[in-house]
């Protein structure tokens, strides 16, 4: 197998990870709504799903159609960042427990989580999202995808974090 084949395997593993996230998210969202949870910021969710899907497609498409090389001095460190981002993401999910999902749902009466990475940062999952959005395309030198995703994600995260902060302000 050549490097592009290995990159396709990596992206396939990320897709499987996303599917696992979505299954868990759906279960947690149903639980939260069943507990009287209120969803906030629905309007930004479809663009977020689209952008994250485009990241995966764009990274592979650019590497393949743009004949981007695998540069070991760049690819291996970026792969390490991708793995670290996944570890941080799952630490966030484990720390939030049933309160984690991909939507913004606040269950009245539940306290803010302050364990795990949340004792250090207010939005640690977005550190993982930003790191992965830059690193995953750069594993195979898809720099245009990394740049476009980063710019669009910065705008979307601004909207998302404002929505989350407003929703979490109702908990206090």
Q: What contacts 60, CB < 8 A, 6 or more positions away?
A: 7, 8, 11, 142
CA dihedral 136, 96, 158, 169 (to 10 degrees): 180
Partners of 105 in the β-ladder? 39
Q: Are 49 and 8 in contact (CB under 8 A)?
A: no
- Structure tokens that stand for 29 in this block: 């969202």
pLDDT in tens, the chain (172 residues): 899 999 999 999 999 999 999 999 999 999 999 999 999 999 999 999 999 999 999 999 999 999 999 999 999 999 999 999 999 999 999 999 999 999 999 999 999 999 999 999 999 999 999 999 999 999 999 999 999 999 999 999 999 999 999 999 988 6
| pTM of structure | 0.95
Q: Which DSSP state fits 88?
A: H
Tokens 């990596």 identify what position? 10
Identify the H or E element spanning 39.
strand 38-40
Domains with residue ranges and CATH for the chain? 3-169 (1.20.120.1630)
Find, among 148, 145, 127, 124, the residue nearest to 136 by Cα.
145
Q: How far apart are CA 41 and CA 44, in angstroms?
A: 6
């Amino acid at each position: 197998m050549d490097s592009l084949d290995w990159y396709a395997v990596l992206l396939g593993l990320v897709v499987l990870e996303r599917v696992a996230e979505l299954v868990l998210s759906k279960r947690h969202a149903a639980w939260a709504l069943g507990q009287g949870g209120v969803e906030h910021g629905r309007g930004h969710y479809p663009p977020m799903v689209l952008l994250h899907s485009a990241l995966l497609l764009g990274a592979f498409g650019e590497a393949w159609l743009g004949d981007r090389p695998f540069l070991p001095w760049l690819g291996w460190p970026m792969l390490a960042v991708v793995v670290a981002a996944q570890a941080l993401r799952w630490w966030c999910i484990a720390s939030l427990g049933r309160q984690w999902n991909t939507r913004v749902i606040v269950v009245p009466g539940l306290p803010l989580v302050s364990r795990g990475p949340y004792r250090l940062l207010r939005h640690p999952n977005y550190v993982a999202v930003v790191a992965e959005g830059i690193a995953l395309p750069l594993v195979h030198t898809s720099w245009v995808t990394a740049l476009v995703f980063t710019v669009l994600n910065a705008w979307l995260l601004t909207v998302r974090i404002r929505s989350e902060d407003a929703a979490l302000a109702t908990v206090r």
